[in-house]
């Protein structure tokens, strides 16, 4: 690879007590690449994303973002997190703030943007994702799909270089999934680097340039979606995909 990777993980281990959740993850994400993590619940997808965002400290290994080792001692976690956007399954919007305030809080407080500037770029983002008319609403007045789109806009307002999406459609009613996936596709078209943990196999197949299959804390197999979904080599991958197909999710 001649370009500096957007994200590089080397031998990342993470345990919660006795339970080893990540057992040596090696992963490289190139700039503008979209990588999907698939695998059963408990395979370590969410933990992996939380480690990249420094929400969970890792036990060993290293994580490098755009050439900077973020797991080194003395790194300012706040500064790193401003460059990495993360969106969670459960939206986690701030219920006591309007949509506009939710989005502009971090740019104003962490990036010290002035109010007019922050609101202007927030409005641009809201407009693009069809949410401008909701800017003065409180989150509990919005549907799940709208809330999740606001959460994505909130992360984008920090102008992240890398977006981590953790099962962003899992908490949504089926009819609301599409609007959220459309937003993510739009981001992919623009060249946003993304690492996406998902159960939506059809979506992963559509959007990912590379799919990684996680099983019990290891990446067992990775490759372009066409190959992973049609001709998986690892028996565990085959077994997982068979179950997914039987459940009608692919």
Cβ–Cβ < 8 Å for 194, 168: no
Number of residues that bind another protein (CB under 8 A): 26
Q: Which residue has the tokens 């994702």?
A: 129
Q: Does 86 bind another protein (CB under 8 A)?
A: yes
Does residue 79 belong to the site contacting another protein (CB under 8 A)? yes
Among 3, 18, 73, 140, binds another protein (CB under 8 A): 140
Contact status: 133 vs another protein (CB under 8 A) = no
Q: Distance between CA atoms of 185 and 119, rounded to whole angstroms?
A: 24
Q: Which of 40, 105, 132, 244 binds another protein (CB under 8 A)?
A: 105
Output 90 or 121, the one with its CB closest to another protein. Answer: 90
Q: What is the Rg, in whole angstroms, of the alpha carbon atoms belonging to the chain? A: 18
* Contact predicate 39/204, CB 8 Å: no
Question: Taking Cα atoms as reference points, which of 53, 58, 55 lies closest to residue 25?
Answer: 58
Identify the residue among 120, 141, 243, 249 touching another protein (CB under 8 A): 141
Q: Which is nearer to another protein, 38 or 142 (CB)?
A: 142
Report the C-alpha gap between 40 and 64 in whole angstroms: 26
Coil, helix or strand for 139?
helix
Select from 11-19, 78-86, 194-202, 223-231 the region that touches another protein (CB under 8 A).
78-86
Sort strands 218-223 and 210-215 into parallel, antiparallel or unpaired. antiparallel
53 binds another protein (CB under 8 A): yes
Residue 95 vs 248, nearer CB to another protein: 95
Q: Which helix (H) or strand (E) holds 21?
A: strand 19-29
Residue 28 vs 92, nearer CB to another protein: 92
Separation of alpha carbons 137 and 47, rounded Å = 32
User: From the DSSP assignment, how many helices (H) and strands (E) are in the chain?
Assistant: 9, 10
Per rule CB under 8 A, is residue 88 in the interface with another protein?
A: yes
Candidates 58-66, 151-159, 187-195, 219-227: pick the segment binding another protein (CB under 8 A).
151-159
Indicate whether 106 belongs to the interface with another protein (CB under 8 A).
yes
Q: Which residues bind another protein (CB under 8 A)?
A: 53, 55, 78-79, 81-82, 85-86, 88, 90, 92-96, 105-106, 109-111, 140-142, 154-155, 158
């Amino acid at each position: 690879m001649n370009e500096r990777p957007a994200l590089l993980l080397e031998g990342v281990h993470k345990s919660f007590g006795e339970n080893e959740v990540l057992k040596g993850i090696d992963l490289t994400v190139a700039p503008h690449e979209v990588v999907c993590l698939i695998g059963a619940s408990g395979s370590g997808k969410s933990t992996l994303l939380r480690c990249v965002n420094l929400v969970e400290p890792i036990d060993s290994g290293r994580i490098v973002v755009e050439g900077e080792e973020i797991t080194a001692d003395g790194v300012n976690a706040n500064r790193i997190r401003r460059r990495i956007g993360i969106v969670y399954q459960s939206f986690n919007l701030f219920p006591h703030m309007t949509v506009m305030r939710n989005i502009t809080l971090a740019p104003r407080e962490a990036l010290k943007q002035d109010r007019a500037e922050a609101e202007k770029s927030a409005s641009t983002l809201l407009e693009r994702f069809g949410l401008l008319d909701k800017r003065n609403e409180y989150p509990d007045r919005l549907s799940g799909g709208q809330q999740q789109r606001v959460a994505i806009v909130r992360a984008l307002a920090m102008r992240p270089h890398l977006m981590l999406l953790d099962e962003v459609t899992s908490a949504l009613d089926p009819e609301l999934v599409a609007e959220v996936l459309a937003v993510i596709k739009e981001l992919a078209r623009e060249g946003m680097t993304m690492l996406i943990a998902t159960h939506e196999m059809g979506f992963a197949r559509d959007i990912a340039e590379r799919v990684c299959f996680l099983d019990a804390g290891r990446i067992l197999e990775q490759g372009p979606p066409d190959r992973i979904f049609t001709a998986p080599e690892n028996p565990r991958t085959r077994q997982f995909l068979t179950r997914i197909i039987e459940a009608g999710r692919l």
